[in-house]
Amino acid sequence: MTVVADNTATNANALIRQRRREEWSVLSLAIPAALIIAFVVLLPVGWLFYLSFIGDDGQGTLEHYRKMIEYKSYYRVFITTFKVSILTTLICLALGYPLAYFLAQLPPRWAGFFMLAVLLPFWTSLLVRTYAWLVLLQRKGLLNEFAIDIGLWETPVKLVHNLTGTLIGMAHIMLPFLVLPLYNAMKKIDRDLMHAAANLGARPINAFWQIYFPLTMPGLVAGSLIVFVLCLGFYVTPAVLGGGRVVMVSTQITSILENQFNWGAASSLGVVLLVATIAVLFIAGRVFKLESALFGKG
Amino acid sequence: MNWLSKPASDTQITHSNRLWLYLLAAVIMLLLVIPTFIVVPMSFSDAQYLEFPPEKWSLRWYQEYFGSVKWMRATSTSLKVGLLTMLVATPLGTMAAYALFVSGHRIARALFVVLITPMIVPVILIAIGAFYVYGRTGLNNSIIGLVLAHTAMATPLVMIVITASLRSYDLNQELVARSLGANRFTAFMSITLPQIKFSVITAALLSFLTSFDEVIISIFVSGGVNATLTKHMFAALRDYIDPTIAAISTIMVFISTLLLLIVQWIGSRQKS
Amino acid sequence: MQNDTALPIQISGLTKQYGDLYALNRVDLTVKSGEFLTLLGPSGSGKTTLLMAIAGFNRPDCGSIRFGDTEMILTPPHRRDVGMVFQSYALFPHMTVAENIGFPLKLRKVPPAVRTKKIEDALETVQLSGLGHRNIDQLSGGQRQRVALARAFVFAPRILLMDEPLSALDKKLRERMQIELKQLHRKLGVTTVYVTHDQREALTMSDRIAVINHGELIQVDNPEGIYNAPANEFVADFIGESTILPLQQSNGSLYYESQVVCPTPETNSSTYSLVIRPERLSLQKPDNADLLVFNGTVKESVYQGETVFVLITLDDSNEISVRYGTNAVSSTSQLEPDTRVDTFLRLSDVIVIPGTGQ
């Protein structure tokens, strides 16, 4: 049965023309936004992609990519980037899961109030928060003084301009990105499921691990993924709190541009970063529906 | 039976068995909130170097800020760009979200992918890419270049907010309106828009804030008289610590807290 | 008050394909001027697709839809001048009742004074006088239904379309609204196409019923015709309760268990089945009538208030369902399971359809 409406049938051609016209008139609403994004994002990224294959002499070359493999310093940048991203994601998971669980268990009115603790940082400039951590974590900062006062350690510990400071700052900035989707996933869980589990004789701990936790997986994965991917390309916090000691891909790209003005090298790093990001999203997207977590489709 | 021994969960765990969770959550929430607000007392300190708690209070950093041509110009640039971004990104993002929501065409899929790229591509890449392309089109250091870039960043967020509200909206209302004699545009403006207006306002505030707080692209493509507030702040943070930042930060925290509360208030009105 | 501007709808060759699936397959249908026609079918049968095509929201692949003499198939929905009531009502929650009803008038630039008058008249027609200032969320389900209705006819459309408008109401209210809708239709005299999957509703309200399945029109007739002379097994099964039994053919006649049912109809089918409406069977042998007799044992009987529903296993192991009025049952004991029972069907109540009924 592949009889597509016969073109000689009544009004068939006019109807097809009208359908096309209407489909395009709807789609055209998305065109202005798409054009801006194409100009600001797609075109530049495409251009950088091209530049990454152009050598200093203006000829096509793979030297920028070859350097990344040959030089240890590049290699280290990627290791650092992945290390920082994974650690930040893990810290967020450890802190975010209990927090989201706490919020999800509260009655709505209280949840709304305590949720402000997540939303306020979320809405505050990350520059401001990075600055605040810079102050809190410095040698004579609040944290050191507090720790010495209660006897945690005796002499000021170096908490900033190193990996520790970077991780603290990044975890603080990323935590809401994990908590919000996780909280939504938890709120969607039918409370009767837990009643049923208890009713069927599951001890609370079993009910949690066998029923509740698996049901929070979609939110957990979506949140961790968002955090991880954002970390991969993060710039401001490592640049300020790392104090030049935590060189991530993004900070490396900037310093190449600032110091050597080498577009090819900077672009190639950017391209690898983008490919890594897309690869992570793609792999996760095959396993989980990320789009549905963000846009609720599918 | 006191409160502690009452069941706290669906599996009848008591509150007293849950105290560890409450304590942990309280610590995490404090860790989230304190660094957001710590800049407020700091900004009123008299000291040249960062100290907390301040020994002597003063308004000198606010005077410094409001008296500085550099900071004032940067603030005005950021506000200008933020407002323009809001005015461009909100309608364009709403139109795009509506189109993708209504259309089942396969081109809509492709457009969707284009429209969320700003969320996928690392911002540093967008920043240097825009810097490069703007360099060839004369858009570097211009307001228009900043607005375009920030609009690109804000559009996916607008789309997320609008799509969410369209999903909880009965689109049949538009069909009814059309059967009653309204064309598509009239139907949207008179029936759909009034009902998603709170989300549109939320999206607008979000796009303003996205632009106002944006750092990385601004570092690259803004400069000269059109350098943004965040560009100067970043430079100040990286190179030397100027307590004026605390004053500016306090103002920024104030703005974002205000916007958040407006959005929360809108959200509660929307539900009722 | 007959509506002079009521228009007939003439649909021909209307086809809509989704992949290999026909949502509508060369549908030809004429809705007479001022008629109340119901599209009846199970979900996914294409009835809503057809309604949406008339309204202009669903664009068919080919075919023609004429209102009177005018081809409308390419006309956008807002210029078709068709009133429509949706299943969800789709009232505008940001407008009051009066603003909802006034919406189509405003679009037609009716002057405010006239508008107010028309809104009041419409509210009176649906018995909601004085509720114009209310918000939508202050209305009950039945009131919302009436507002949706008033909004659909206030601008005197030439055609009124309704997509399962009563399905959200509870049973009692639904039955009352059926009567009210019918009265309203008589008053307005507007050509009405009504979609439902509820056969009882279709029988109650319609001048004619169009039974539709798999995108094809199966039978179009008035309620009596549909009920008493179903065209095939689908119609017989979908409308009303029925038992379908296979018939044997011999010497130009159709037989059931060696009882002559009727002469073989002159159609090109090779097999025929007997359709029995449960309420047409009787327990006592009627006088002065030619009868079919069914002998069997009671399998189950259920008391349902006004009737008793009985499932009987016939001696030839077919099952037959019977519905007796409670006053016809002399003693309930005779309907206990495993009781022998004879039931009778007048030959004048016999319905024969082509096919084996399998």
Domain ranges of chain B: 3-60, 68-240
Question: B217: which 2 tokens?
Answer: 């692209």
**Nearest CB to A4; choose among C17, C60, C74:** C17
Nearest to B179 among C77, C91, C94 (CB): C77
B18-32, B249-263, C325-339: range with lowest mean pLDDT: C325-339
Q: Do C92 and B177 touch (CB under 8 A)?
A: yes
pLDDT tens, N- to C-terminus, chain C (358 residues): 444 568 899 999 999 998 888 999 999 999 999 999 999 999 889 999 999 999 999 999 999 999 999 999 999 999 999 999 998 889 999 999 999 999 999 999 999 999 999 999 999 999 999 999 999 999 998 899 999 999 999 999 989 999 999 988 888 889 889 998 999 999 999 999 999 999 999 999 999 999 999 999 999 999 999 999 998 889 998 988 888 888 888 877 888 877 877 887 777 777 888 899 988 888 888 777 788 888 899 998 888 888 888 899 988 888 898 888 777 555 555 578 888 888 888 888 888 888 776 5
Neighbour tally for B154: CB within 10 Å? 28
Answer with the one of C235, C259, C280 that is the final residue of a domain.
Answer: C235
Of residues B271 and C294, more confidently modeled: C294
C200, C249: one domain: no
CA–CA separation, C133 and C96 (whole Å): 6
Q: What is the pLDDT of residues B199-208, one digit of tens each?
A: 999 999 999 9
**Taking CB atoms and an 8 Å cutoff, what residues of chain B touch C86?**
172, 175-176
* Pairing status of strand C253-256 against strand C307-314: unpaired
Most confident segment among A70-74, A157-161, C65-69: C65-69
Measured between CA atoms, the residue of chain C closest to residue B172 is C90
Judge whether B270 is closer than 8 Å to chain C, CB to CB: no
Residue B252 has pLDDT above 80, yes or no: yes
Cα separation, A233 vs A219, in Å, equals: 22
Contact check, Cβ <8 Å, A5/C74? no
* SS3 at position C140: coil
- Backbone torsion region of residue A296, taken as left when φ is above 0, otherwise alpha when ψ lies between -120 and 50, otherwise beta: left
Number of domains composing chain C: 2
Phi, psi (rounded to 5 degrees) for B256: -70, -35
Percent of chain B residues past pLDDT 70, beyond the cut: 92
Inter-chain CB proximity C15 and A5 less than 8 Å:
yes
Chains with 3 or more CB pairs under 8 A to chain B: A, C
Alpha carbons within 13 A on the beta-carbon side of B260:
19
In a domain, C2, yes or no: no
3-class SS of residue B206: helix
CA distance A140 to chain B (A): 8
Hey, how many other C-beta atoms are within 10 angstroms of the C-beta on A60?
A: 8
The count of other CB atoms within 10 Å of the CB of residue C331 is 7
Rg (alpha carbons) of chain A, rounded to whole number: 25
- For the segment B53-60, the average pLDDT, to the nearest whole number, is 82
Question: Which residue in A296, A119, A104, A111 sits closest to A184, CA to CA?
Answer: A104
CA-closest candidate to residue A294, choices B95, C208, B156, B15: B156
Least confident of A106-120, B85-99, C206-220: A106-120
Alpha carbon C136 to its chain's center: 29
> For position C223, which CATH number holds?
3.40.50.300
The pLDDT score that the predictor gives to residue B28 is 94
Same domain, C37 and C135: yes
Nearest to C104 among B181, B183, B194 (CB): B181
The residue in chain B having the minimum alpha-carbon distance to the alpha carbon of residue A295 is: B160
Residues A212-246 have pLDDT tens digits of 888 888 889 889 998 999 999 899 999 989 888 88
Per-residue pLDDT tens over the stretch B216-232: 999 999 988 899 999 99
Q: Are C206 and C283 contained in the same domain? A: no
CB atoms within 10 A of CB A224: 21
Task: List Cβ neighbours of B220 (8 Å cut-off, separation of 6 or more).
Answer: B127, B128, B130, B131
How far from the centroid of its chain's Cα atoms is residue B72's Cα?
A: 22
pLDDT of amino acid C193: 96
With CB atoms and an 8 Å threshold, state whether B176 touches C90. Answer: yes
Query: A16 to chain C nearest CA, in Å?
Result: 7
Among the candidates C213, C235, C257, a domain finishes at C235
Residues C29 and C57 in one domain: yes
Within a domain: C4: no
Helix pair B69-102, B229-239: axis angle to 10 deg: 120
Closest alpha carbon within chain C to A5: C61
Q: Three-state DSSP class for C157? A: coil
- Give C-chain residues touching A4 at CB under 8 angstroms: 17, 61
Do C52 and C129 have their domain in common?
yes
Does residue A47 belong to the interface with chain B, where contact is any CB pair within 8 Å?
Answer: yes
- Across the interface, whether the CB atoms of A37 and B114 are under 8 A apart is answered yes
CA distance C162 to C205: 12
Q: For chain A, list the contacting chains (3+ Cβ pairs, <8 Å).
A: B, C
pLDDT tier, B240 (very low <50, low <70, confident <90, very high otherwise): low
Lowest mean pLDDT among A114-118, B101-105, C12-16, C258-262: C258-262
Residue from C51, C58, C100, C107 to probe the interface with B (highest B Cβ count within 10 Å) = C107
Statement to judge: residues C64 and C202 lie in one domain: yes
Between the alpha carbon of residue A228 and those of residues A23, A178, B222, C188, C315, the distances in Å are: 38, 10, 28, 65, 74
Q: Does C334 touch chain B (CB under 8 A)?
A: no
Asked if the C-beta of A50 comes within 8 angstroms of chain B's C-beta atoms, the answer is no
Residues C101 and C147 in one domain: yes
CATH class, range B68-240? mainly alpha
Q: Does A9 sit within 8 Å of C74, measured CB to CB?
A: no
From chain C residues 141-170, the ones with a CB under 8 A of any chain B CB are: 151-152, 155, 161
C13 touches chain A (CB under 8 A): yes
On whether any CB of chain C is under 8 Å from the CB of A6, the answer is: yes
* CA-wise closest residue to B180 among C53, C75, C88, C104: C104
Written as six digits, the tokens of A36 are: 């801006």
Q: What mean pLDDT do residues A166-172 have?
A: 94
What is the pLDDT at residue A245?
A: 85
Residue C16 touches chain B, beta carbons under 8 Å: no
Domain spanning A72-295: CATH 1.10.3720.10: yes
| Residue C124 domain flag | yes
B230 reaches A (C-beta below 8 A): yes
Task: Give the mean model confidence (pLDDT) for residues A164-179.
Answer: 94
pLDDT over 70 (residue A3)? no
Is C63 exposed, middle or buried (CB count within 10 Å of its CB: 0-12, 13-18, 19+)? buried
In this prediction, residue B9 carries a pLDDT of: 66
Per the CB < 8 A criterion, the answer to whether A143 and A108 are in contact is no
- The C-alpha atoms of residue C58 and residue C14 are separated, in whole angstroms, by 11
Residues of C in Cβ contact (< 8 Å) with B176: 84, 86, 90, 92, 151
The string over C278-293, giving b where at least 16 C-beta atoms fall within 10 Å of a residue's C-beta and e elsewhere, is bebbbbeeeeeeebbe
Interface membership of B266 toward A (CB under 8 Å): no
Beta carbons of C90 and B182 less than 8 Å apart: no
Are residues C89 and C231 located together in one domain of the fold?
A: yes
Kindly determine whether residue B256 and residue A125, on different chains, have CB atoms separated by under 8 Å: yes
The alpha-helical segments, DSSP class H, found in A124-190 are 126-137, 142-149, 163-187
Smallest Cα–Cα separation from B174: which of B184, B165, B164?
A: B184
Tokens of A197: 């589990």
Q: What is the CATH number of the domain that holds C260?
A: 2.40.50.140
In degrees, to the nearest 5, what angle opens at C-alpha C57 toward C-alphas C55 and C59? 105
Domain extent at residue C160 = 9-235
Q: How far is residue C27's CA from residue C215's CA, in Å, rounded to a whole number?
A: 8
How far B175 CA sits from the closest chain C CA (Å)?
Answer: 7
Q: C202 lies in a domain? A: yes
* Amino acid making up residue A216: T
DSSP A261: -
- C-alpha B239, offset from chain centre: 26
Q: Which of B133, B112, B146 is nearest to B224 (CA)?
A: B146
C93 touches chain B (CB under 8 A): yes
The size of the A-B interface in CB pairs under 8 A is 272
Cα–Cα distances (Å) from C250 to C232, C262, C291, in that order, read: 21, 11, 19
DSSP character for B57? Answer: B
- Is pLDDT of A4 > 60? no
H helices then E strands: how many in chain B?
Answer: 13, 0
Picking from B249, A144, B176, B232, the residue whose alpha carbon sits closest to that of residue C163 is B176
Residues facing C300 on adjacent strands: C311
pLDDT at A143 over 90: no
Distance CA C237, CA C313 (A): 19
| Residue among B177, B187, B194 whose CB faces C94 most closely | B194
Please indicate whether, in this complex, the C-beta atoms of B181 and C94 are within 8 angstroms of each other.
no
Is the minimum CB–CB distance between B195 and chain C shorter than 8 Å? yes
Q: Is the dihedral of CA A141, A147, A150, A154 positive or negative?
A: negative
SS3 content of chain A, % helix, strand, coil (to 5): 75, 0, 20
Chain C partners (3+ C-beta pairs within 8 A) = A, B
Instruction: Among B11, B148, B238, select the one facing A240 at the smallest CB separation.
Output: B238
Q: Which residue has the higher pLDDT, B254 or A8?
A: B254
Take residue B111 and report the two structure tokens written for it: 């457009």
Among C235, C267, C300, the domain-final residue is C235
C81 touches chain B (CB under 8 A): yes
Task: Classify burial at B138, counting beta carbons within 10 Å of its beta carbon; exposed 0-12, middle 13-18, buried 19 or more.
Answer: exposed
> DSSP readout, A209-259?
IIIIHHHHHHHHHHHHHHHHHHHHT--HHHHHHSTTSS--HHHHHHHIIII
